[in-house]
Amino acid sequence: MSTKKETVTLHVAFDGNDDNPGTETAPLATLTGAKDAIRSLRRSTEKPVRVVVHEGTYYLDRPFILGAEDSGTEQGPITYEACAGERVTLSGGRKLDCRWEPYRDGIMMCRLPDVCNGTLDFSQLFINGKRQIRARYPNADNSDPEHYSGYIQAAAAIDAETPDPCPASDDDMTFSSGPPRGIIYAPETFTRKRWARPQEAVIHIYQAYYWGNLQWQIRHIDWENRHIWFGHGGQQIGAKWFSHPCAVMTAGQQASRFFIENVFEELDAPGEWYLDREQGILYYMPEEGVALEEALVEVPVLQHVVEFKGTQQRPVCHITLSGFRIAHSASTYLESYEIPSLADWSIHRGGAVFFAGARNCTIANCWFDAPGGNAVFMNGYNRNDAVASCTFTQCGDSAICFVGYYESTVGTQKTFPYECKAVNNLIRHCGVFGKQVAGIYISRAKRITAGHNLIYDMPRAGICIGDGTWGGHIIEYNHIHNTCRETQDHGPLNAWGRDRGWCLAQSHAPHTVNRSHDAFEMLIDAMEPVIIRHNFFEEHSGWGLDLDDGASHYEVYNNLCVGVGIKLREGSHRTIYNNIWVDCANPPGFHVGNEDNHDRYFMNITVMSGKHMKPEDDVNFSMDTHHGEIYSLISPPAHGAWLEEIDHNCFFSDTGEFITFVLPRGGQERKYSLVEWRELGFDRNSVFADPMFVDPANNDYRVQPDSPTLRLGFKNFEMGVWGLSENSLVSSWAEESANL
């Protein structure tokens, strides 16, 4: 006898009314109407409820909030879903009714009274579904993002002793511990125009070492001295362990690149726009082929489109959103950012869909179309929530974030995401505004699964783990490529472990000859191992698997890395085995090693190519080139074993020789031959030999039956199983719009 409960179905449509019963012929009009109807139903039944939303764009004047009282149950879940075959958008924006008229030089204008009366403001404009460009200098150019097309270089930072002629407060009179005050522009590359309202402009500028970028409201411009003075902003870079801000504008001879937007005088290219807030006029230069009088004009106004809003004591439970396009969330780059851990990153705690206090809730088969900040943010207490089979395109910041709180996790408080998942998602072309972003970001969380995701065309990492608290994550079957396109010193997967056991002096102070830090009790914070397995990482530069600054308690196996390798920086309890590194831009590296680190590296295949080699007389260590070495060690432990184990590996190079590059603490770099390396106790059972891959041209890096690697214990693992699974429901609607 079946115990399955009958499902109650409610319908929502534009021609509905919230006083209707919600049938297909008498539908409700809004999601809020459906939510209220479910509350009434719950007084008499706990049957599963299905809300079917019909075709159209639903512009929300406030976020759609689901609280504890809107929960389903395990036996009676609640689903809000787009009707099959129909295109349904949940919009955090407004559709503008524009009456366009010519202004000049191909620029059109329309009047928006709501801007004047203070009921409408926006920093993004969408025409026919495509995000347009705020008037800027220099003009946008996305033809070569890896070489910063569309940016110009600052000449220098404003000196600490330079008096500010228009300080906003007494704090602006000193530079000793405050944020950067501004930059000096180079007249040969800067605009010749003079701006009437420079205080409206926003500068987007890279941090000195190109870890990411920052945005500031411009306070004023001293045209005579070429000074651009910063106002509010600059919160996007973390690294709070710097006493002086890390966001200085110059690093050696390399000056930070920047552009400035929201300048009326710079409206001179198709697709650019400017909003005059004083007069309530929108100016726009249409792109070729746009029939502006018929165009759909939309502007984002809400930062959150949907909120799952509960608490640990009264969570939101058993609710699924499925099949929607979620669009038009407002930009957040001038909002408050915070540093959840000691990682370099800061983050805005917000997203187009925002989870706080949710259990067993899911976002499935949705298309996040150009959100202004993060797309999905799971904040604080969340349990068993999932983001599955979704598409993320053109996110302003990161796509999916799992971020908890360390300070409030005491006693019975569990203010962090736990056993949540991001699976089978397509994430691409993110980081439109912020560059220190990731496809999937994890910080102060536990047992997060990121599996079967396809992530590419990212300015920084594909996946980033911000700290070692509290571990237990599973990163598996992901395909990540074309990352770190606009930043440096990273990899397609990046992790930090700047927790209690991490030593700043060991990591970033001069590495003395006779001192190195012990491994401390790293497992106090990194309680459970992070598993990284069965992933395919392909790049042409960077670190690959970048286990940076104290990242500890990792088990890494059965990964294929083409073009990149792995880096282990100070940390402990890393077990690296049965992986394949091919043609690495940098060889597997062990940098700034801790004493008694318990790191083990065995049964791996490394194939290096001379095509990445830099000149022999260039002895400086750099990010993306090497001297033909199989390994690189930078400041290994001063005493004791450099690693607990490194053996039974197969390595090969078209240079025909084995080399290990070592830069000891306080000493001169040295290269070790295989004989010398073995005399140190390493790789005594390893071989320098061709691993004999089956078909590398087609990404089949299994080894042939007579490969020497098999005698070392290496085991073939399945190829081609990474990325989106076969039953992916990635939105065809998003695919059709890929060129927007």
Per residue in 681-738, pLDDT (tens digit) is 999 999 999 999 999 999 999 999 999 999 999 999 999 999 998 665 556 777 766 6
β strands within 129-252, DSSP E: 130-131, 133-134, 136-137, 152-157, 182-185, 202-206, 213-222, 227-233, 250-251
Residues in Cβ contact with 224 at an 8 Å cutoff, skipping those fewer than 6 apart: none
Minimum mean pLDDT range among 340-344, 571-575, 676-680:
340-344
- Decide: 499 and 469 in contact? Cβ < 8 Å: yes
Terminal-residue alpha carbon distance, the chain:
52
Q: How far apart are CA 415 and CA 445, in angstroms?
A: 9
Residues in Cβ contact with 726 at an 8 Å cutoff, skipping those fewer than 6 apart: none
412-424: average pLDDT: 96
Q: How far apart are CA 409 and CA 525, in angstroms?
A: 12
Q: What are the residue boundaries of the structural domains of the chain, listed by start? A: 8-92, 136-266, 488-719
pLDDT digits (tens, 9 = 90+) for 226-260: 999 999 998 888 765 554 444 555 555 567 899 99
pLDDT digits (tens, 9 = 90+) for 476-499: 999 999 999 999 888 899 999 988
pLDDT band, residue 209 (cuts 50/70/90):
confident
pLDDT digits (tens, 9 = 90+) for 367-409: 999 999 999 999 999 999 999 999 999 999 999 999 999 989 9
pLDDT on residue 175: 41
Q: DSSP letters of 253-311?
A: TEEPEEEEE--GGG--STTEEEEETTTTEEEE-PPTT--GGG--EEEE-BS-SEEEE--
- Decide: 210 and 201 in contact? Cβ < 8 Å: no
Single out the residue of 326, 330, 348 nearest to residue 338, CA to CA: 348
Q: How far apart are CA 663 and CA 596, in angstroms?
A: 19
Task: Indicate whether this model's pTM tops 0.85.
Answer: yes
Query: Residue 683 burial by CB count (10 A; 0-12/13-18/19+): exposed, middle or buried?
Result: buried
For 188, 474, 709, the CA distances from 657, given in Å and listed in that order, are: 49, 36, 18
Single out the residue of 381, 378, 380 nearest to residue 362, CA to CA: 378
For residue 569, what are the β-bridge partners?
591
Which phi and psi (to 5°) does residue 688 adopt?
A: -100, 105
Strand pairing class (493-495; 545-547): parallel
415 token code pair: 């203010």
Cα angle: 431, vertex 432, 436; to 5 degrees: 35
- Whether the per-residue pLDDT at 623 is higher than 90: the answer is no
pLDDT digits (tens, 9 = 90+) for 133-176: 999 999 999 999 989 999 999 988 887 778 887 776 555 444 44
Q: How far apart are CA 458 and CA 540, in angstroms?
A: 14
pLDDT on residue 490: 86
Which phi and psi (to 5°) does residue 78 adopt?
A: -120, 135
pLDDT digits (tens, 9 = 90+) for 255-278: 789 999 999 999 999 999 999 999
Single out the residue of 553, 580, 583, 585 nearest to residue 568, CA to CA: 553
- Whether the per-residue pLDDT at 180 is higher than 80: the answer is no
Q: Cis bond leading into 138, ω under 30°?
A: yes
- Decide: 58 and 293 in contact? Cβ < 8 Å: no
User: How many residues are given for the chain?
Assistant: 740
DSSP 338: B
pLDDT on residue 254: 64
pLDDT digits (tens, 9 = 90+) for 434-491: 999 999 999 999 999 999 999 999 999 999 999 999 999 999 999 999 999 999 888 8
Q: How far apart are CA 430 and CA 434, in angstroms?
A: 9
pLDDT on residue 2: 43
Residue type, 508: H
Give me the chain's average pLDDT, please. 91
395 token code pair: 């996110």
| Residue 376: count of CB within 10 angstroms of its CB | 28
pLDDT digits (tens, 9 = 90+) for 503-538: 888 887 777 667 788 888 889 999 999 999 999 999
pLDDT on residue 640: 86
pLDDT band, residue 628 (cuts 50/70/90):
confident
